Structure 1
Amino acid sequence: MLNFKNIAIRRGSRLLFSGASFTIHKGQKIGLTGANGTGKSSLFAMLRGELHADEGEFSMPPNLEVAHVAQETPALECSAIDYVLDGDRELRALQRQLQEAEQAHDGIKLAELHAALEHAGGYTAQARASRLLNGLGFSTEQENRAVSSFSGGWRMRLNLAQALMCRSDVLLLDEPTNHLDLDAVIYLQDWLVKYPGTLLLISHDRDFLDTITDHIVHIEQNKAEIYTGNYSDFERMRAEKLAQQQTAFEKQQREIAHIQSFVDRFKAQATKARQAQSRIKALERMELIAQAHVDSPFGFSFPPPKKMPNPLIKLEEADIGYGDKVVVRNASLSISPGDRIGLLGPNGAGKSSLIKVLSGQMPALRGKLTNAQDLHIGYFAQHQLEQLRLDESPLWHLQQLDKQALEKDLRNFLGGFDFRGDKVNDPIGPFSGGEKARLVLAILVYQNPNLLLLDEPTNHLDLEMRHALSVALQEYQGAIVVVSHDRHLLRSVTDQLLLVADGRIQPFDGDLDDYKQWLAEQKKAGDEPDTQAAANNVSRKDQRKQDAERRQRLKPLLDAVKKAEAAVEKYHKEQQELEQQMADPAIYSEENKEALKKLLSRKAQVDDALEQAELDWMTAEENLSQAE
């Protein structure tokens, strides 16, 4: 096993490649490709011990026999076949020991050495060397000619034959076909296919590489990466990669242009309100960070609403609350196409209740709600995740919305939310919270609403999905009302802020920085004076009782955080232990093949479990923070 870990090689001040991390296992045949000067021969020199990596670690098992083709051939007077036999170093060592034992008349030693010579194939070595020479184009008469009598090209063939004669564990061949004719190339190709050791081959002959190699290490743009398969397989993978890069570049340019168009259009339309200017800044920042998300697995957009009545919905003199409790009084709100409203206010002030009234999920205690005839609401709230059919698939959920839709079209649509392949048919019961939230959003988008009511839509979503949602909402042509603790989302998709506080709904004349200041002032003032006075009059006994009730209320959330932290620590520790086991060269031996298979399987399970544990921990922390 040859193990490369973060290898960097320089020639003088010039970096050839860096960050090379891969493992070459026993018996693999590796083609090493890349433009001239990228570091292929330098990598060989490192394997031969002639230079050291400038960074990183290279390791291989001790006592491996590494063979390579010498670049120069001295003008020796020995015969060609003897020169080739010199490649079998074990044979030559045994022959020297035999000579010494004969001179010492050591019969026991002679018997042991003859047995060793037979075991090493010493009695057939001459025939093997002859076959090699013949296969590489030498005639029987040429086998006995002096090495010095051959020209440079033929001497290189002799060097190649000498390297092949070595019973090596690792064979390094740098452009071995350069001095061969077609017959010799075919012979060498067939010989290397049967070679039992590990082969590293530098060649620009694609047919040669295709027939022999099972992996390609390609050096390009100062990076060395390994690909599974022969050279044609590598070409296909590289072509796909380059096509993806081009597609990603084009996607990036489209996204930048798309966001820039919103910046330009919005600048022309926006008032001088602080939140409008805040949105312009957020849009400009989105343009700058677009490149960081070009490889995002998410790509979706809201289709234009079919109809856009004006106003879409109107709430007049409404009281909102539960039972006898009124949280918002005398609320009036008219929403028109293109409105992008963010709701601000303390927890419990009535933001979610307002959205529920607008969506029709709960009635107002008093007042009037008027919906336009062609109003089509898209409502997102956390409880909708619980309304998904856990035994059904993402594809099934969309098919319930559109019985006539082609499965291919639904699969393509779900792909934009990163439900791909078999995932579209999997039951959603085991899905993570983030996957379920993505599915609810997919269902919402597919229904093509003209009014979006979003109550904390980014809960459970990762950064890539949040960015994709922000971009999609920029393009959305209907009206938006959103409650969110994600300030980036609020800044980038809203241009009108409403404050829900103190039982009222009123415009907030400021941006999110101003709202932060408003919250600080409210906390400092202690809200209402009578509330503060009442708090001052609370007895110590009552205070202790309130603290106990608070601890009791928060206990399940604190327990959830502790449990999630313990799981993260447990899986992280096991991950480190598994990685330590995988760093042991002995695990890659033939006798440990099954153990390695189990180790790799467990490592994959632990990686997945750790990722889920970290998500659970973040969710638990967020739930506790909101409750506090």
Structure 2
Amino acid sequence: MLTITDLSLQRGGVWLLQAVSLTVQPGQRVAIVGANGAGKSSLFQLLLGQLTPEQGSVALPGGCRIAHMAQEVKASDRSARDFVLDGDLDLRRMEAELADAEARGDDHAQARIHGELDIHEAWSASRRAETLLRGLGFSDYDIGRPVSAFSGGWRIRLNLAQALMRPSDLLLLDEPTNHLDLDACLWLENWLRRYPGTLLFISHDRDFMDRGATHLVHFDQQKLELYTGNYTAFEGQRSERLAQQQAGFERQQARIAEIQRFIDRFKAKATKARQAQSRVKALERMERIAPAHIDSPFSFEFPLSEKVSNPLLSIRNGQAGHGTAPILTGINLTLLPGSRIGLLGPNGAGKSTLMDGLRGEKTLLAGDRTCGEHLAIGYFAQHQLESLDLDASPFLHLQRLSPKASEQSIRNFLGGFDFHGDEALSAIRSFSGGEKARVALAIIAWQRPNLLLLDEPTNHLDLEMRQALTMALQNFEGAIVVVSHDRHLLRNTVDEFWLVNDGRVQEYEGDLEDYERWLADRRKDDTEAPRNNQVTSNGVPAEASAGEGVGESADDRKARKRAEAALRQKLSPYRKRQTGLEKEMDGLQQTLQTLEADLANPALYDADGQARLKELLGKQAEAKSRMEDIEAEWLEVSETVESLEAELAG
């Protein structure tokens, strides 16, 4: 499938790869790991023809279709649905050809193109695009919104959906989970397991790799090492190579001892026997993998504040939301020193809203929030990175917090986050997302909090930094509340889970595996397997080829083809009308939602607002009437489409 031979590659005068060879077989799912800057993304650029190697070659089969996940997307007025559909280049090409044939009145060309569209299953394209969007966390309302209405992280999700929409033989994904929540990660894992092509993906999420990879390629010292198995298998194999290093072995034992002390505290909670057993398994795993991290550049902790209140924080009869509309009600919780909470819940259920409420932000609309006298909160969220002073260095950020601290103490502290020498004094404007995240975590740790509120702290962090963060959180003596899609971090740092769902916050008795099953039970319309439109040697789609009758004569086959073409031509205007009606219903639905929001304004019901109220009610009645007429026509057209499709299928 993919053959790399004697390849050497450099960027900016730095050698990334030297004389490497690699073969990836069809159908393999290959995770790509290595230090930041090792060349992982450059390898993808090479496969996409955007880079030229200094020597060697990259070979792919003729006609190999590549889909890749872009890292940026420009603002546009195209809807999320249309943006995702744009990923299917063949579909858009055939639609353009059909429009041209219709404009020319070429009936023969129209019939031929309709046949191609049917083979391509164009009739289900919109539904497949919407399934991808819902799986990645977009609401039904979001599907019709313009790309320009979404933030950067959600646009990355749109890029991912577009890549998944494109029929392909080779799929390249660069950090696909970076901007996903746990629910979307689990959905993506299931989708990729059904993907019929070859998958190469860059990731720092060990659980995602464990469940999605059949092989692993490690960038190490300008070489590519291919391992069979998932990330855990890779760590085990690599640890064997490193086990002879005595210094590393001693460090491994020290880490295991730290984890064991944590487990001893954890097992003392009789009500948490199930989580205790899970943590014991984590220790068994850590004993095997620790040597693979002996060369980690990170070593830090979260020092606890000198004074700690008990309880740290409590909320009684709370309501949380935005504006005047509560998302969560009946919030009753208490955080004690040593509380270690993981928040679970579907996208949009209110996890980040609850985190803001815990911080005392305006999202806490009602209720009593009581803080301990010595409460010191350390808060991390991705949007905080935007508030960093881009012209200041990591050193200056800490010095501003503690002007009397010695230069050496600040430098030593930053060294644990791998900011050494000139880098500690460099303006962070040019830093990567991962480096900025490390600065933000260093600022939190420097202030010695006793309550950590962490909202997706592992985004942009590489594997080694995630490992170091996990260790630091394990040894933190204060309280932790964390939202994360990194299941390894959750398993190894929290004692209990709270479920945020249906407007409530309550203790969740299960573990992450139970939560995944719970999600699967409530998830709908996401079981359709991905397509890659594979064809046989004669150019006929494999599915169509397999379905043709055995022993069918040439004349019978021609007659059947003519009849099918006639049916498709008859079906085409009904499908077109069906699509038009659906778009009109979507538009009316958005109009009705806007009108309902306008009608919720209390000022309309004063004497001065009566005229405007009457106008809005009239528009609402008109829109509802139009919606009823369109729905009735849509039902009639849909019945005709279903009847013709059944006839065509028969």
TM-score normalised over the length of structure 2 = 0.44
Structure whose alpha-carbon radius of gyration is higher: 1
TM-score by length of 1: 0.45
Which structure has more relative contact order (CA 8 Å, sep 6+)? It is: 2
